[in-house]
Amino acid sequence: MQADCKDDTLLRDVEQFIYREARLQDEYQYEAWEALWTDDAIYWLPANDADIDPEQQMSIIYDNRSRIGVRVRQLLSGKRHTQEPRSRLRHFVTNVEILSREREEIRAGCNVMVFESNLRGETVWAARTEYLLRPEGGTMRMARKKVALVNNDRPLYTLSFLI
């Protein structure tokens, strides 16, 4: 495939978006993170496989836009015990690719590791993450984010930060 300048710029933009999103998560900028979502957003962490039917099978997270709002407000309440004190976090993002592009919508994928330190100890999370991104109001937004944890078919400790 021949990469031209335009593709390069787009990839840079997507990478920068993903890095920024990761930083907002790591630094508890919950409201700024919430603002990245479109109104029809879905935030999805499947369980037991990467490709289950979330309308039929249990997922770890399957939030529509209003539930994303509840998640954020719960974190902001100061009484979400599992995040008081907050997990210390760093996301590491690699292998960023644009998977497809249809009109304005971009499907992008990457591999993610998160190092979490909390009262229990240290936990490493690893996932394949895919985004559906869409320009809206002069900026890029997330219409869909799917985080398929590598070990989502195994027993998992509490995952109460934003991944």
Partner 1 sequence: MPVTQTHIPEWSDLIRADRVHGSLYSNPAVFEEELEKIWYRTWVYVGHESEVPSANDFVMKSIGPQAVIMARGEDGEVRLLQNRCPHRGNQVCTEASGNARTFTCPYHKWTFANDGKLTAFAFADGYEGQDMSHLSLGRVPRVASYRGFVFGSLATEGPSLADHLGGAAETIDRLCETSPEGEVEITAGFLQHRVQANWKFVMENETDGYHPGFVHSSIFSVADSGIGGLYGPKSTALTRSYGNGHTEIDLRPEFRRLGQPMGWFGTTVERLPDYATSMNRSYGTEKAREIMIDGTPHVMIFPNLFIAEIQIFVLQARAVDDTIQHVTALQFKGAPDLNRRLRQQTMGSVGPAGFLLADDSEMYERTQRGVAARTPEWIFLGRGEHRERDDADGFRVGHATDEVPSRGMWQHYRSLMEAA
Q: Is the peptide bond before 85 cis (omega within 30 degrees of 0)?
A: yes
* Residue 46 or 96 with smaller CB distance to partner 1: 46
Q: Which string of DSSP letters, residue by residue, matches 97-144?
A: EEEEEETTEEEEEEEEEEEEE-SS-EEEEEEEEEEEEEEETTEEEEEE
Is residue 52 involved in binding partner 1 (CB under 8 A)?
Answer: yes
Q: Which of 9, 16, 57, 95 binds partner 1 (CB under 8 A)?
A: 57
Smaller CB separation from partner 1, 45 or 140: 45
Least distance in Å: CB of 74 to partner 1? 5
Per CB under 8 A, contacts with partner 1 among 8-47 are 45, 47
Give the other-Cβ count within 10 Å of 105's Cβ: 13
- 17: its two tokens: 């978006």
**Which parts of this chain interact with partner 1 (CB under 8 A)?**
45, 47-48, 52, 55-63, 67, 70-71, 73-74, 77-82, 119-120, 153-160
